Structure 1
Amino acid sequence: MLKGNFFHGLGYLAEGFRLIRQPGLRLFVIIPLILNILLFGLLFYFLAEGFGVMIAAAMSWLPDWQWLQALDWLFWLLYGVVILLMLAYGFVILANLIGSPFYGYLAELTEKQLTGQEVTTEGGWAQIIKDIPRALWREVQKILYYLPRAVFLLLLGLIPVVNLVSAVLWFLFNGWMMALQYVDYPADNHRVSFGDLRRSLGARRLSAFGFGLPVALAAMVPVLNLFVVPAAVCGATAFWVRERSANA
């Protein structure tokens, strides 16, 4: 039987957007946000440059008919769709890899603001630098968890009729992954292993889906996905504080 409250879960992302505006948290939102904007710009630039070369090559293969050459707008339209899809899922993974040390500290400050209690992690900037290897390894663990399941769903999507179910499973899986991705930051601050985190979220699965599904949807919207990452960290910390107490 699924436990938790889906509608309570829905409220955590909205709370996260409220929390990132708090004075004590803004610095640790602004720094990774600047890094994410630079990353977004570089990804867009290099993908645009590469696709431009592909378009030029494709157009050179076509007969020299004026109406065919006029189809280059169609290639650029396709390019725009491909870019949006690639950035929607690839950007979040890269942004989390780059910002993971900051997000761990952001989760710590958020928890302190929500509970009024110090988290065991200390040390400020020195601790952020010290935690970089551990934070990166934690991100790698999540990617290793994600990849085999994503490949399975991808293969499932190639089977006629079954692929209709696969689309729903993809959506649910992405919601589950977003919950795992962001609740992991406060969990890691308490030195909870990734395996224990999965079991803990499994015990509140409806709440986890309620939080993760809107995060997954927001991650697909350009520009909004720049802001949804720190908001999801703060919202996930609120999830951690309240759902953990509900389990107690």
Structure 2
Amino acid sequence: MRDLGAGFGQLLKGQRWMARHGRSYGFGLLPGLIALVLYAAALTSLALWGEDAVTWATPFADGWDSPWAGLFRGFLTAVLFALGLLLAVITFTAVTLLIGQPFYESLSERVDRDVSPDGTAPVSGLPPWRELWISARDSLRVLVRAAVWGVLLFALGFLPFVGQTAVPVIGLFVTGFFLTEELTAVALQRRGVELRERLALLRSRRMLVWGFGTPLALAFLVPFVAVFLMPGAVAGATLLARDLLGEDTDEGALTSPPQSPPPSESPAPAR
């Protein structure tokens, strides 16, 4: 239980760090806003034409007596939209991180430098195009894993009672785990930690990961919230990555006012 609270604490610390560095916050909203428009368009299309797709996929129900065909197809349409919404929550982070890769890399490095006792941050040493390729490749692999879980939970949702009680809770924890993986990947990838190692590292501290990711997944279900929490979530995930790797963190840097750069000295006037 302590790890659950510690994970949630890292999430809050990340949001507080972002609030103290407001200059970067506005720019950090742009990737989330772009992703939100894309997902809103996709979900709107699913809502408008999902019933047509279900009708096309169930020709065997054409001869059913009324109202059974309508009820059956209406149920499948609702389930299809719910599945699309679940996949949207799971993949929103990956897509937003991919769109905002350069900024979030810079943000994560800044957090590392701010909280590191020696004021340094790990760097990958890879060219930007290589980092973007690795991020896209790993995100696709995680998406496949998330989709498998989504299909499994979709099937279990038909079970009486269990499908309406346990399955949504399990789905929330699964979503939280994959959200955390995507967010910590920004900091862990800079440290040269490959996807397989990242997953093993997260599984070794599941309670910590769930404490961070599950409340975030719950918050992401509220429209527009994901956009405003994303910059702070990246900052918190950087702190979480340091915790997972056992790196020392200067806690005082999370509470003290940010240091302003020293003003440049003006040259003395010529005489």
Paired residue for 2:31?
35
Match of 1:44 in 2: 40
Asked if 1:10 corresponds to 2:8, the answer is yes
Q: Is the 8 A contact 1:101 1:131 kept in 2?
A: no
| Partners of 2:32 and 2:226 within 8 A in 1 | no
Q: TM (normalized to structure 2)?
A: 0.67
Residue number in structure 2 paired with 1:110: 111
Letter in 2 for 1:192: V
Evaluate the alpha carbon distance shift between residue 7 and residue 35 of structure 1 in structure 2; reply closer, same or farther with a 3 A threshold: closer
CA drift of 1:140 comes to: 1.3
In structure 1, distance between residues paired with 2:234 and 2:142: 15
In 2, the alpha carbon distance for the partners of 1:179 and 1:245 equals: 17
The CA deviation at 1:231 is 1.4
Range moving further from structure 2, 31-40 or 138-147: 31-40
Q: Which residue is equivalent to 1:213?
A: 214
Superposition RMSD in Å = 3.4
Matched, 1:142 2:142: yes
What is the letter of the counterpart of residue 121 of structure 1?
A: S
> What is residue 196 of structure 1 aligned with on the other side?
197
Identity of aligned residues (%): 22
Number of residue pairs aligned between Structure 1 and Structure 2:
218
Q: Give, in angstroms, the shift of residue 158 of structure 1.
A: 1.8
Report the alpha carbon displacement of residue 223 of structure 1 after superposing the two structures with TM: 2.0
Cα deviation, residue 89, structure 1: 4.6
Is the Cα–Cα contact under 8 Å of residues 8 and 211 in structure 2 kept in the other structure? yes
- Give, as a single letter, the amino acid of the residue that structure 2 aligns with 1:245: G
| Cα pair 2:108 2:238 within 8 Å, conserved | yes
Name the stretch that deviates more: 39-48 or 169-178: 39-48
Aligned residues of 1:17 and 1:235 also touching (Cα < 8 A)? yes
Distance 1:173 1:203 in 2: 15
List runs of 5+ in structure 1 lacking aligned partners.
Answer: 56-77
Aligned to 1:235: 236
- 1:204–1:182 Cα change, 3 Å: same
- Choose 159-168 or 219-228, whichever is displaced more: 159-168
Offset at 1:85? 3.9
* Match of residue 66 from structure 1: none
Q: Distance in 2 between matches of 1:49 and 1:7?
A: 39
Larger helix share, 1 or 2:
1
Contact 1:182/1:233 (8 A) holds in 2: yes
Contact 2:14 2:236 in 1 (8 A): yes
Query: Distance between the aligned counterparts of 1:207 and 1:54, measured in 2?
Result: 38
- Which range moves more in the overlay, 39-48 or 165-174? 39-48
Q: Please, which moves more after superposition, 162-171 or 212-221?
A: 162-171
| AA partner of residue 141 (structure 2) | Q
Deviates more, 1:46-55 or 1:170-179: 46-55
Corresponding letter in the other structure for 1:135: S
Provide closer, same or farther for how the CA distance between residues 158 and 93 of structure 1 changes in structure 2, counting only shifts above 3 A.
farther
Q: Which residue of 2 aligns with 1:121?
A: 124
How many angstroms does 1:18 deviate by? 1.5
Corresponding letter in the other structure for 2:122: V
1:120 partner letter: V
Q: Which residue of 2 aligns with 1:75?
A: none
Q: Structure 1 residues 150 and 25, CA, compared in 2 at 3 Å: closer, same or farther?
A: farther
- Structure with more relative contact order (C-alpha pairs < 8 Å, separation 6 or more): 1
Q: Which has the larger radius of gyration?
A: 2
Whether contact under 8 Å (1:96, 1:139) holds in the other structure is no
2:89 and 2:175 in contact (8 A); partners too: no
Please give the alpha-carbon distance, in whole angstroms, between the structure 1 residues aligned to 2:211 and 2:49: 42
Q: 1:244 to 1:130 in 2, by over 3 A?
A: closer
